Structure 1
Amino acid sequence: MTTARESRSPGRSPSATTSLRAAFLIAIQGLAGIVLLPLLIVSFALVVIWVGLPMLALTLSLLRGLAMSQRRLARRILGVKVPMPYRKIGGEGLLDRLQIRLTDPATYRDIAWLLLTICLGFAVGLVAMIFYIVLPLGVLASPVIIRTYLTVTSSVLRRSDTEVMEQRIGELATSRAETVDTQSAEIRRIERDLHDGAQARLVALSMNLGLAEQMMEKDPQMSRELLAESRQSASVALTDLRGLVRGIHPPVLADRGLVGGLQALALAAALEVDVDVVMVGRPPAPVESAVYFAVAEALTNAAKHSTARTAWIWLRHNAGRLSVTVGDSGVGGAVASPGGGLHGIERRLAAFDGTVTVASPIGGPTIIAMELPCELSSEKI
């Protein structure tokens, strides 16, 4: 689950060269908007006969790309980060993706910005560039014009505090529901493993011991055989219980911490894994367990689906955030689909307000970047 954060840094007046480039880009945006608006109108009109569906999807994508260029320009000139508050689009079909975009408030902020940039963008950019011909007026006036224009247009693209809060509440509600579902499924798995494994063996052990007690005087040999069988059943039941506990919190984490746990995963993996982990201190036990199983799932996916021969694990902790990257040299094409391994990683880390970003172009490589807030404790503690 990705959460965008808005941040501001003190803006400095752009240099003459920077202002000239910004003026040129603003003018280009205005021209592009003039071309894009008719396409958008025609696309909406053609939706009724289905021809406009792919056309509308393409036009909205172009609009989003144009608005993103405006956000990057505002960040460079004003020192203000205008986040991209779009709803996440997964591997749905065309209609589903289009529905998500049409119900996303950010799409209509982009359209409002498009109308504004058509009315002002080309004129502002052209005036700012012409002013540079008239020195020193241009050097003084053009940066002011550009900064004013970007401030106004960026306010249209920026989410309100209410929208930020509503999105955050929605993300937390979704994360909580998925966490509850995951924990319920985990509890059912543990109950099933106990019932089918250790419990069944312990019941058989109790019955064998009862029979051995009854046969002690009548048939000592049979009694010894039952006791030997009971001892074997107790050993198997103990192994089952250890495996069950290992699935809840691997002993390697308790003994060697997350760094040692990741190194153990690399050694046990079915492909050659390079490990580059640097961390002073230890995360909380639940975070260690979540990251451990997330990395284990990523390596398992790489071994099963990517045809990769090599992979790598990279881990760092900085500014209160734990960053983990798992990559492989396979064929790529990995997609986070419901019920899949990548979706499971997202759900696992979402419980800790973590994010997962997947880059997996066809032909590879696949890179899974995970990040979550985390404070480390001292090794001594």
Structure 2
Amino acid sequence: MRERWDQVWRGSRYLLIGLPTALATMLVLPLLMVGAISTALGVGLMLFPRIMAGLRLWGEWHRRRAAAVLGVSVAPRHATLPKGVRAQWRQLLDDGENRRDVRWVLWHIATGLPAGLAALCCVGLTVGAVVAASLWWLFPADEPLSLLVGIPVTSWGSALPMGALQLALGVALTWWAVPRLARWDARACLAALEPSAEDQLAERVGVLTESRAGVLDAHGAELRRIERDLHDGTQARLVAIAMRLGVAREALPDDSGALAKLLQEAHEGTEEAMTELRDVIRTMYPPILADRGLEGALASLTAGSAIPAELDLGELGRLPAAVEAAAYFIVAETLTNAAKHSGATRVTVRMSRRGGRLLIEVTDDGLGGADESRGTGLVGIRRRVAALDGTVLVASPVGGPTAVTVELPCAS
């Protein structure tokens, strides 16, 4: 019972406050129109983003009230404006919340007004019964007070029972209708301000993309750290061990027999381990990337290509470490494929950045007919690119030429 009365009280307060705010929200539409029109005159360039920020605060206050009525929690939405008119307009056009704020204006007017008026009638019927029944005697005799359906009240004998009956009717209507109206209006408010399923999916994809970019950056940094540790630590120790074993072999007399053979095997095994370690380091994160950057690493690849290679680099800017490593391995693998399988006499490597995408194009003048099923390395390229959510397009008609086009997301 007490919980129900709490719902009635909260619902009444919510709807009776929502009634004047819905009337006030009707002024938002002409204000938005004035702001949009003034944009053409230049004044709105600074005014309109601030109007939308104010609307965000206004809608957010109603959103928190609606969530409190429904007993749910909602994540806060921020209404801060970045510095600079261009940044403010970019945020205004890109932020889907602004469209939902304008949609909420229409919904709040359409639901807040009727729900608030209905709550006002229910509460007014209840409060009016008490006030009117006790003050019936203030009305003139020729125009007596009327209760319920126009029944005139001319004495305490009619005022008390009619007032009690109207009070009971008002309490019943308020008890039954007000909480339902409040929940209906609150759900409408949240539905208008909450993103749709498509918007939620798009926002989730955006969050996952950002988190993946952070993971890739961290992964690249960790690979660089491991490469440095292996190169400067483990590899250096293996080199020292190999040198000592070599000195020990030279110091042994010629008739050492089994001991000389063991030292020889240990020496050769250490050198093989160093070779394998160098291969592992190169496949993890090429040291040349850390030393010379992507441009220098690609220049070294093309200079050392088995067939003449031309390198054409655009403005790349700062790239995530994982994207740099993938681009390096893609170019290295395609150059190797061209040298082994294409019969080409020349290869062209082009790399450029278009917004948030890195475009890699490797073209050779070979015989074409590249077949991924024959182990040409294209499968490995596709897997590496797929891990970064990129795309690979291979055009290799019989007779040539062969063009491998790769796009990698590189927004940091």
Task: Please report the TM-score for the alignment, with normalisation by the length of structure 2.
Answer: 0.41
> Which of the pair has more CA radius of gyration?
2
Output the TM-score relative to the length of structure 1: 0.44
